[in-house]
Amino acid sequence: MDLSRLEPCGPFAWQLPVQGAMRVPGIIYGDAGLLASMDDKVASQLANVAALPGIVQAVYAMPDAHWGYGFPIGGVAAFDAEQGGVVSAGGVGFDVSCGVRLLHTGLLRKEVARRAACLADALLAAVPAGLGRGGALRLDEAEMDAMLAGGAVWAIARGYGWPEDAWRIEEQGCMAGADPAQVSAQAKRRQYDEMGTLGSGNHYLEVQEVAEIYDAACAQAFGLREGAVVVSMHCGSRGLGHQIGTEFLRRMVIDADQYGIVLPDRELACAPILSETGQAYLAAMRAAINCALANRQIITHLTREVFARLFPEARLDILYDVSHNTCKEELHEVAGRPKPLFVHRKGATRAFGPGHAELPDALAEIGQPVLVGGSMGAASYVLVGCSSAEAMSFSSSCHGAGRAMSRTAASKKWQGRAVVAELAQGGILIRSPSMRGVAEEAPGAYKDVHAVVEAAEHIGLSRRVARLMPMICIKG
């Protein structure tokens, strides 16, 4: 990125000043090295988002930001409905409510390592992964609507989990305001056999070791200790979310003139929050959030079944589940007063600090876990939200390392089988139905996740709690 377009406004903060049609400034978080690795389109996309009606305070890019569809990945923007604020399907993304869930096992590395290959094979057999891959569960029309309305709570009620699971899931496992009637028949058809599946791209199911603790008190509260084994999953709303995004982007482009919206980029198609189109999208998007929560809940159940066969002593409790492709109505302080805002987080994670009213009692004094995913051979991190993030990013933080090169470029640089062999030499077992997919997701295709989380901590968005290293990765 050309840093001459930006003005330093802190040790790890850079401002894109208001210019042209921008209504608010853009703020990019990260050190000079991280910004240098970002493409120039990040700043251009921030400028476009900053021109949308009803935007509040500033538009933000997290330290892992990179170019995306309309919004940059790692982009955060909040809109005031009372001031003509908009909701943008491009500001949420196609994989609605893509997110990360982390499970304890109660096992140590040495216990799992003895049966690692067997565990890897069993997980690949139990959890369908790959493009278009369906699962054993089939939903009829009534159950589809019940799932879209009920989320993980629906899945738990049907035997795919434990009642206490819901308290460690964002929105307590069910997103309010979902309306299955706003989800098209085509979107539902795409999802009828995809519940409990990972999908492709950067989605995964990983068995990981807690390799390093940074904050002992917080780690203890989260139940983490060095040498312990955890399970992490990264996936979303699959074909249903993609179809919702596709359909509403098209509808928002057509309706823009009706609502008097001048789009700086067609990919930023949006509608006023209080309009018919805006309300319809929010209702459908919330149903897709429930789809993703139910999907991760079913994968949790399938994973528990595998561990129960191989490690009967294991108990896979949920540490937390948080999404990073959403638009949510939240109370945030604006000009010294609490204000309901619609916060878009695209490739960014909610990061509520200690004492936030929406946190469950067990986390209220500590803060929200922020789960930052890695890529096969790279570390993942558990962070915790900081109160300072409220004023700096509407309580948002990074979600991963962020891509350093496109999937096409990565597939030309690496061969999937060579990546698998290299990682195996380092003690990491990869299982995937697609060697091309492995090449596209090679660790070298991503930025340095250590630099990203260090920047997030220095800025005050979130604080490091633990570093996790992969042992087994089931890759979509």
As annotated, the active-site residues are 399
CA distances from 341 to 46, 54, 144, 173, 328 (A): 19, 10, 30, 22, 8
Residues contacting 47, CB < 8 A, separation 6+: 16, 19, 20, 22, 26, 264
How far is 112 from 48, CA to CA, in rounded Å? 49
Q: Where are the alpha helices (DSSP H) in 127-165?
A: 141-157
Token reading at 313: 């002593």
Strands (E), 151-292: 204-213, 228-235, 270-272
Find residue 431's DSSP bridge partners.
474
- Report the residue count for the chain: 476
Phi and psi based region of residue 161 (left: phi greater than 0; alpha: psi -120 to 50; beta: remaining): left
Pairing, β 59-66 against β 26-29? parallel
How far is 51 from 332, CA to CA, in rounded Å? 21
Residue 209 C-beta-side C-alpha neighbours within 13 Å: 17
